DNA sequence: GAACCCATGTAACTAGTTACATGATTCA
DNA sequence: TGAATCATGTAACTAGTTACATGGGTTC
């Protein structure tokens, strides 16, 4: 595990607090650790234990005290030993390859849909990575303006996604040329029919002060796939509105876990179709930290907001 | 976790035993699970519990009985639902990028050495992946000759390594153009001096029936880096021999863990320089399964063998 | 006044790996 | 005879994630 070494590396530049380190991990795509509290604070406890860092507690009037960590000589030596040691091989995980290997007998249309969904995921991921890269800690450092190798790193990361998109193009071309034998026994796709939206999501059109909005009540099932977003948009177009009120139940577990990419994909679609969405959640509901961060990022825009009070939500939606 | 789904996908082709599934996972680079017992057998217990597979115990005379698993209708439906669901985004882990970001102030020579080591690792990994791909279960299946998409998958996997090598080329060109300012404060590389070999590894030249071999006694420290292999080769050249006897202590933990790539890199160097190596380990010593597999693969060749009896080892070395 | 930010930490869980255990068969 | 292959399983561990808990300060 080189997390500890990476922390030492960061501290070799300047002393930092756990929280700062955590934010760096969060905002840097090639630092593949999620940077959750447990990991970071545990790592510091270990490093302190081994004498690789020193802790300075800074008490602040009327504020929680900070722990500022400084690297020790032993820590610096450890870090340099790590740099001199063997480099790990690069690894990847691509579920799409597993699917493709196992979905050998799928119908062409289903394969195309799968690849298209993958392409959208990759594009999203690439955009996210680019954005994060350009505002991450390494992009612009105090001493030398920017890290000497940042350009190389950036290129490496983005080329990963670029070559994936290029491969998708090839794969699409390949399956387009496949003979589609209707008589063949195809593995059926399950649960991809369009009419499920109506039955599953329980949408109601409401009106307030002459303005319409679509209300997805908690009684229906949550937004669990990108298809659900498409269905919502279709309903909006049908009823000539661009405002959607989501009951808390509509936010599925997959939705609030950002790494599934679902929230990103759905909200991107909302942006594309100029649709405003307000979610009303119970007061006590806890979301993953990443999701909360995303919420606060969306606060700047006019696409998505989370409320606890339904009236406030509608107010914003129609305002 | 889609491991369970992947197993269902395999069973949708034909009934299999846990051991067979395990071997498929082991031998297929894009199935990123290691395929260790615990994982596989636990997964089967779960699938059985949920009614997605059925178990048929086949008792065999004088042999351990097999459990042959067959997918049920519920399992098949589950698998198809998974296929229809959202695809996971691709992810990668490249320690080299972290190093590069943190090793900003390293000397040019050290950077070059780091990139060269990385290039070798990637080449090794690529070769391994290619070899595994071509003899893996998906490469040649009974029904359709080969999986329709195997070519696409193969291309994707290999292009990952190819584009990494291409990037290394660019990175090398970039650092070659960097001004090497001698006056600058460089972060020193630690422990990369050549003389450590003599002091650390404790090598002795021995002779039997007029044939020389290099004996690395257990008293020294184990082979922990590629540099150690280079040092050993230098000693062989110096003493005009091509046989090395390694005491068990020389095989470090990193060495026996194949995913570190150390064993592969070291043995590749031995192959290149036509050096025979025999390791003598205590009778009870347990190695990771992957390492044991590698040992048996090397049994075909004339480069590396593991013995428990030192005399046998020397016999083979000089034979 | 609700929600977010800074800041620290812990408890409980999931995923995945290593090592141990067993025992017959096959192969050199 | 010793090691490898086939075959099944468990115990203990490491790495990493989610959720919970706390509390002052800031911002809309």
| Burial classification of residue B251, based on how many CB atoms lie within 10 Å of its CB (0-12 exposed, 13-18 middle, 19 or more buried) | buried
Read off the pLDDT of each residue in A216-233 and give the average, rounded to a whole number: 76
Residue A150 pLDDT > 70, yes or no?
yes
Of B164, B142, B137, B139, the residue nearest B150 (C-alpha): B139
- A-chain CB neighbours of B155 within 8 Å are 167, 170
Largest CA distance in chain B: 77
- B-chain CB neighbours of A262 within 8 Å are 86
pLDDT digits (tens, 9 = 90+) for B178-204: 876 655 555 656 654 434 434 456 778
Closest residue in A to B264 (Cα) is A89
Say which residues have a Cβ less than 8 Å from residue B221's Cβ, sequence separation at least 6.
B200, B201
Measure the CA angle with vertex B41, ends B82 and A188; round to 5°.
20
Q: Does A254 touch chain B (CB under 8 A)?
A: yes
Residue A193 pLDDT > 50, yes or no?
no
Q: What is the pLDDT of residue A200?
A: 57
Q: Does A31 touch chain B (CB under 8 A)?
A: yes
CA dist A28 and A24 (Å) reads 6
Nearest-CA residue relative to C1' of D4: B296
Residue A198 pLDDT > 60, yes or no?
no
Both tokens of A32, joined, read: 């593949």
Residue A99 pLDDT class (50, 70, 90 cuts): very high
Of B254, B244, B231, B233, the residue nearest B304 (C-alpha): B244
Measure the CA angle with vertex A155, ends A151 and A157; round to 5°.
120
CATH 3.30.500 fits B202-318, yes or no: no
CA dist B227 and B230 (Å) reads 5
Read off the pLDDT of each residue in A183-196 and give the average, rounded to a whole number: 50
Say which residues have a Cβ less than 8 Å from residue B179's Cβ, sequence separation at least 6.
none
Closest residue in B to A173 (Cα) is B152
Nearest-CA residue relative to C1' of C10: A38
Answer yes or no: do A94 and B2 touch at CB < 8 A: no
Q: Does A33 touch chain B (CB under 8 A)?
A: no
Nucleotides of C under 7 A from a protein CB: 2-12, 14-25
Answer yes or no: do A103 and B167 touch at CB < 8 A: no
Residue A219 pLDDT class (50, 70, 90 cuts): low
Residues of chain B with pLDDT under 70: 61-63, 142-145, 180-201, 218-221, 259, 283-286, 300
Residues (231-260, chain A) with CB within 7 Å of strand D atoms = 253, 257, 259
* Partners of B183 in the β-ladder: none
Q: Does A137 touch chain B (CB under 8 A)?
A: no
Say which residues have a Cβ less than 8 Å from residue A317's Cβ, sequence separation at least 6.
A213, A243, A244, A245, A276, A278
Residue A197 pLDDT > 50, yes or no?
no
Between CA A63 and C1' D23 the distance (Å) reads 8
Read off the pLDDT of each residue in A264-282 and give the average, rounded to a whole number: 81
Answer yes or no: do A96 and B118 touch at CB < 8 A: no
Least confident of A52-56, A72-76, B9-13, B58-62: B58-62
Q: How many C-beta neighbours within 10 Å does residue A204 have?
A: 12
pTM above 0.95, yes or no: no
DSSP string across A32-87: -S---HHHHHHHHHHHHHTTSEEEEEEEETTEEEEEEEEE-HHHHHHHHHHHHSPP
Residue A170 pLDDT class (50, 70, 90 cuts): very high
Q: How many C-beta neighbours within 10 Å does residue A135 have?
A: 11
Q: What is the pLDDT of residue A190?
A: 61
pLDDT digits (tens, 9 = 90+) for B203-227: 788 888 878 888 887 666 678 777 7
Residue A253 pLDDT > 80, yes or no?
no
pLDDT digits (tens, 9 = 90+) for A104-143: 888 888 999 899 889 888 988 888 888 888 888 998 775 6
CA dist B253 and B260 (Å) reads 10
Domain range B3-83, CATH architecture: Orthogonal Bundle (1.10)
Q: What is the pLDDT of residue B143?
A: 63
> B75 near B81, Cβ under 8 Å?
no
CA dist A165 and A125 (Å) reads 11
> B102 near A8, Cβ under 8 Å?
no
φ/ψ region of B14 (left if φ > 0, alpha if ψ in -120 to 50, else beta) reads beta
- Residue of B13, B71, B98, B147 for testing the chain A interface, max A β-carbons within 10 Å: B98
Residue spans of the domains in chain B: they are 3-83, 95-176, 202-318
Highest mean pLDDT among A61-65, A137-141, A288-292: A137-141
């Amino acid at each position: 595990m080189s997390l500890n070494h990476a922390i030492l590396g960061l501290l070799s530049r300047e002393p930092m607090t756990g929280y700062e380190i955590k934010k760096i991990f969060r905002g840097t795509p090639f630092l593949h650790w999620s940077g959750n509290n447990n990991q970071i604070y545990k790592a510091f406890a270990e490093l302190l234990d081994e004498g690789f860092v020193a802790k300075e507690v800074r008490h602040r009037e009327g504020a929680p005290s900070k722990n500022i960590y400084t690297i020790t000589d032993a820590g610096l030596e450890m870090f340099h030993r790590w740099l001199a040691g063997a480099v790990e091989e690069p690894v990847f995980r691509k579920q799409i390859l597993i699917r493709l290997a196992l979905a050998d007998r799928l119908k062409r249309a289903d394969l195309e849909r799968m690849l298209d969904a993958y392409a959208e995921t990759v594009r999203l991921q690439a955009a996210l990575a680019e954005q994060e890269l350009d505002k991450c800690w390494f992009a612009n450092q105090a001493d030398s303006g920017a890290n000497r190798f940042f350009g190389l790193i950036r290129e490496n990361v983005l080329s990963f996604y670029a070559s994936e998109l290029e491969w998708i193009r090839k794969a699409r071309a390949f399956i387009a040329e496949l003979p589609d034998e209707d008589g063949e026994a195809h593995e059926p796709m399950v649960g991809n029919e369009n009419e499920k939206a109506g039955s599953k999501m329980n949408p109601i059109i409401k009106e307030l002060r002459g303005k319409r909005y679509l209300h997805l009540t908690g009684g229906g099932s949550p937004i669990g796939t990108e298809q659900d977003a498409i269905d919502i948009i279709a309903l909006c177009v049908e009823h000539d509105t661009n405002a959607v009120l989501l009951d808390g139940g509509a936010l599925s577990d997959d939705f609030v876990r950002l790494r599934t990419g679902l929230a990103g994909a759905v909200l991107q679609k909302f942006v594309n179709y100029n649709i405003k969405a307000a979610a009303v959640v119970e007061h006590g509901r806890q979301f993953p930290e990443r999701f909360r961060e995303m919420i606060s990022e969306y606060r700047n825009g006019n696409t998505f907001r989370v409320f606890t009070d339904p009236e406030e939500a509608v107010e914003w939606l129609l305002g």
